[in-house]
Structure 1
Amino acid sequence: MTRPALSIKPPPRQGGAALLAAMLTVTLVATFAAAALWQQWRSVEIETAERNRVQASWILLGALDWSRVVLAEDARSDKGQPVDHLAEPWAVPLQEARLSTFLAAQNNVSQVDDGMADVQEAFLSGRIVDLQSRLNLRNLLNAPDEPQTLAPLTRLLGRLGLPPAYGQQILLALRQATSASEGAQPLMPRTMRQLGWLGMPPAMAVRLEPYVALLPTPTPVNINTASAEVIWASTDELSWAQANQLVQLRAASPLRTLADATRLLGLPNPLSATGFSVFSNYFETWGQLRLGEVIVSERSVLRRNGMTVNTLWRERGAPPPPA
């Protein structure tokens, strides 16, 4: 009886393992390549954003210099009798416009060459605001009679539907911030939105911003640019109807002197020269540049002394001033 021959199976082929190793190698190479490509793209995007930010900063600095020139030329034209009103060139806001129209305008036709391709998508907007069209909180710190000093701010708060008690809180906080005593004391704010440092609710600071300012020195209110609320609150000699009437009269013809306002309203007594004026020395400029996806805004406070216009401070990323 013969035994069946034993069958010997060949060893399994290594082709499957080699294919798997090759696929893993390709996957790793693709992953490393994708990571390197992403890092390169990220570096390019960061460099582009930084370049746009620097360009925007220089352009906004040029816009600030342009604002100073406008205010200086306005002082030159009014050198004999300084008057500032809302019909002057500085008071006209600059709506968003393509920057190339300012840089390459020739014969009323905008011409942009290849070297200015980067500014074709740049848009500039801005405005100049008279800060003496608002109540100056600095006046609260330079008058000895506290009830009389607080009267304008108290009237304004009541007119705006805000608690008049906040006037006393603001006065005490400002005095504490400017005191030379040692110990914990709040920082002196520069803008209305920073009044939160003194304990004021942010919503109230935003509500007051169109009507109140905080300037380095005491200032009168410009009756040519102030709102009816500010004019009415600045003195108890005017009724609300007279304040609105004054705003309507100046729209037809700017007031050249305080005597013009007294005459037009038929007031028995002239307006106080310490509380009112027809010209201003403090202005706020705000500019915004939109360059591609980058938006840069800047706000500055300017002080004009004759034909000299100085920048007191600048703030990057500031919101637009209230209209």
Structure 2
Amino acid sequence: MLTLALMVEIASLVVADYGSAMELMIGRQDQGQSRWLARAAVDWGRNVLAEDKRTSQTDHLGEIWATKVAPTAVEDGEVAGEIVDYSGLFNLNGLVANGIVVPDQVESYKRLLRIIGISSGEADGLAAALVDWLDDDEKREANGAESTWYAEHGKRYRAANGPLMDIDELGLVRGYNEDVIDRLRSLVAALPESVPLNVNTASPEVLSAVVAGLSIDDARAIAARCLVSPNANVGSFLDQLPKMATMPPASRFSVSSRYFLVGGRAKYGQAVTRMQVLLDRKSIWPEIVWQKIL
């Protein structure tokens, strides 16, 4: 109820403020109101996450921020919103650090690709192509693709040789078709820097990928227990790993989160707006990394 009440309050204020502004033509006014309402959903997310930071040392899927707000009537419109923990996803930009390949992260990514049904050979090629896209040189990995490959295949762009800005950028990388990207979409993120993985919100697929020797079934069991009893610290998670799993450094994991994606959907009249905003909660008040209207 707290999230719903806050959403309605913020959205109502936004509509009131917008109503006092200069009138627009009818169609544009609906679109403008719709966008303002979508931004209200983002403001709701920032408020919820700031309050969570003030009152909790851990982040898990049983907290208020993880509750979706269903479409809710506000004045003459409708607004909905949700928050996704991006610190619980596999960070694709972590395959390369300071322009240099991180081998164990690459191996984790290959495991993730195999977990979602990609063959070993194709997984190797996809990982190599992404490494070439991210690293800061033009030396081609085996089965990879640097700028010369894209030129030879009629592409009018070069390898970025830098971090991904967004998951949709994968569509430019060799081998990443719509099917592959759709399989990855709920499991990976493109974060601006490396951060520990939140084991309280990570999916079984991601847990199995980042911990060598952790089967998907064991990862599902760990994730299920976490829903009932979230980990208070990283040690609690590590204690649950089976003996056959390779014990990773504790520094790779966390029980709190820094990056979140807030999604807002608003309708006003005939206009509908969907907005996504990546937030960095480095301090109490989350800062906007990027935003886009879909």
**Shorter-chain TM band:** 0.7 to 0.9
1:181-200 equivalent positions in 2, closer than 5 A: 185-187=158-160, 189-199=164-174, 200=176
- Can you list the C-alpha shifts for 1:204-235, whole angstroms capped at 9, x where unaligned? 11221111111000122111111100000011
Structure 2 CA distance for partners of 1:85 and 1:207, relative to 1, 3 Å: same
Distance 2:283 2:250 in 1: 19
What is the letter of the counterpart of residue 42 of structure 2?
A: L
Instruction: Work out which of the residue numbers 269, 272, 276 in structure 1 matches 2:253.
Output: 276
Distance 1:263 1:158 in 2: 26
- Match of 1:308, SS state, is coil
What is the letter of the counterpart of residue 311 of structure 1?
A: I
1:285-296 equivalent positions in 2, closer than 5 A: 285-296=262-273
> Shift of the alpha carbon at 1:147?
3.6
Structure 2 CA distance for partners of 1:175 and 1:290, relative to 1, 3 Å: same
* Residue of structure 2 equivalent to 1:76: 54
1:1-323 equivalent positions in 2, closer than 5 A: 47-78=25-56, 82-100=57-75, 119=76, 122-142=77-97, 146-162=102-118, 163-164=122-123, 165-175=125-135, 185-187=158-160, 189-199=164-174, 200-265=176-241, 271-317=248-294
> Shift of the alpha carbon at 1:241?
2.8
Distance 2:164 2:247 in 1: 34
TM-score, normalised via structure 2 length: 0.77
- Can you list the C-alpha shifts for 1:33-66, whole angstroms capped at 9, x where unaligned? xxxxxxxxxxxxx921210111122222222122
> Shift of the alpha carbon at 1:171?
1.1
- Can you list the C-alpha shifts for 1:114-164, whole angstroms capped at 9, x where unaligned? xxxxx1xx1111110000111101211118565423111000000111231
What is the letter of the counterpart of residue 107 of structure 2?
A: A
CA contact 1:98–1:124 (8 Å) conserved in 2: yes
Structure 2 CA distance for partners of 1:265 and 1:155, relative to 1, 3 Å: closer
Q: What RMSD in Å do the two structures reach over aligned CA positions?
A: 2.6
* Residue of structure 1 equivalent to 2:16: none
TM-score, normalised via structure 1 length: 0.70
Name the count of aligned residue pairs.
248
CA contact 1:176–1:186 (8 Å) conserved in 2: no
Structure 2 CA distance for partners of 1:273 and 1:216, relative to 1, 3 Å: same
CA contact 2:82–2:262 (8 Å) conserved in 1: yes
Structure 2 CA distance for partners of 1:178 and 1:129, relative to 1, 3 Å: farther
CA contact 2:211–2:246 (8 Å) conserved in 1: no
Structure 2 CA distance for partners of 1:178 and 1:142, relative to 1, 3 Å: farther
More displaced 10-residue stretch of structure 1: 255-264 or 89-98:
255-264
Structure 1 unaligned blocks of 5 or more: 1-45, 101-118, 318-323
CA contact 2:71–2:79 (8 Å) conserved in 1: yes
- Match of 1:83, SS state, is coil
> Shift of the alpha carbon at 1:193?
1.8
- Match of 2:96, SS state, is helix
CA contact 2:41–2:265 (8 Å) conserved in 1: no
> Shift of the alpha carbon at 1:269?
7.7
What is the letter of the counterpart of residue 161 of structure 1?
A: G
> Shift of the alpha carbon at 1:189?
3.8
Distance 1:203 1:269 in 2: 31
Structure 2 unaligned blocks of 5 or more: 1-23, 140-146, 149-156
What is the letter of the counterpart of residue 135 of structure 1?
A: F
Distance 2:129 2:101 in 1: 16
Distance 2:280 2:70 in 1: 24
- Match of 1:280, SS state, is coil
* Residue of structure 1 equivalent to 2:20: none
Moved over 6 A (4+): none
Distance 1:145 1:217 in 2: 14
Distance 1:177 1:93 in 2: 42
What is the letter of the counterpart of residue 309 of structure 1?
A: P
- Match of 1:215, SS state, is coil
What is the letter of the counterpart of residue 217 of structure 1?
A: E
